[in-house]
Structure 1
Amino acid sequence: MDTHALLTRIRSDWVATRPGLEPTPMLRLILLARAARLAADRVERVQHQHGLNHAHTDLLFTLYRSAPPEGLTPMELTRLAAVTPSSITNRIDGLEAQGLVERTPHPTDARSRRVRLTPAGRARVEALLPEHLNNETELLSGLSEAELQELDRLLLKLVRHLEGG
């Protein structure tokens, strides 16, 4: 069942089950979740072709775009990737096992380590990045530039509201 038909069916079922109930908020969030899932599936398909998952790609891209040559601490990575410290540790462990990142001693804090891309990690990012961006451009190509700007504005407004700001 396509999404429009599904939403129509859900609305109809609610009207039959609870006349007077307005299901529009539920339907909008179902639609938002469906769009996010469909986009994520297509993004992950490209990542999997490069032997990566979303979590690993996120960490590799964060190191590639934000890390100085000596790398970032796990706490810096946690802030930049907006995940929990245990998630970062698991991601680092997985990528280190693949030889894509390495932990190096922190120059001034013996208890801390820095994480940086290995040459193989940098090469993996550089191989994935053009395909990743082309895929994401294609995913959004159903909207005009003006619609994309409006989508950006509205999603940012929604996120700010949900974050309490």
Structure 2
Amino acid sequence: MQALVIHGKQDLREETLPLAELAPGKIRLRMAFGGICGSDLHYYHEGANGAFVVREPLVPGHEMAGVVEHDPSGELAPGTPVTLHPATFGVSQRGLEGKPHLWPQGAYLGSASTWPHTQGGMSEYLDVEPGMIRVLPESLPLERAALAEPLAVALHGIAVAGGVE
């Protein structure tokens, strides 16, 4: 499969990567569009995003939209349009029960914060956990749906701030 891969500071390559066998419990997506986040830019320009240094080839991308390629469970038909919640949650912590995004040992698509790195969606295919998938209405173009994650971040910020006037 084709993918964009960051190897280090200002070293971005289009590469052909092997397509692994679909792991149990995963769903294979065919990616269509991706946004470029500030973290992706930091990984490219600096070879790091804060303390998270690119130490192995990293496929960036967590602002994505695509279609279901294969769902072994049969719940999602091939061609179903989707976007992603790009996080997997770690271990629940007392006092943070309602904030799984803060739990340690979580991961985020396209991130060098984990070892091995958590590969992202700037690739032809991406295999994800079913809970990460958000089915889209047929009327929403995939190009716009790739902006769902940044929109969600903005709406969360407004909610935390207590609204806007």
Higher relative CO (CA 8 A, sep ≥ 6), structure 1 or 2?
Answer: 2
Higher strand proportion, which one?
2
Higher helix proportion, which one?
1
Is the TM-score greater than 0.5? Answer: no
Interval containing the TM-score (normalised by the shorter chain) = under 0.3
| TM-score, structure 1 as length reference | 0.21
Larger Rg: 1
| TM-score, structure 2 as length reference | 0.21
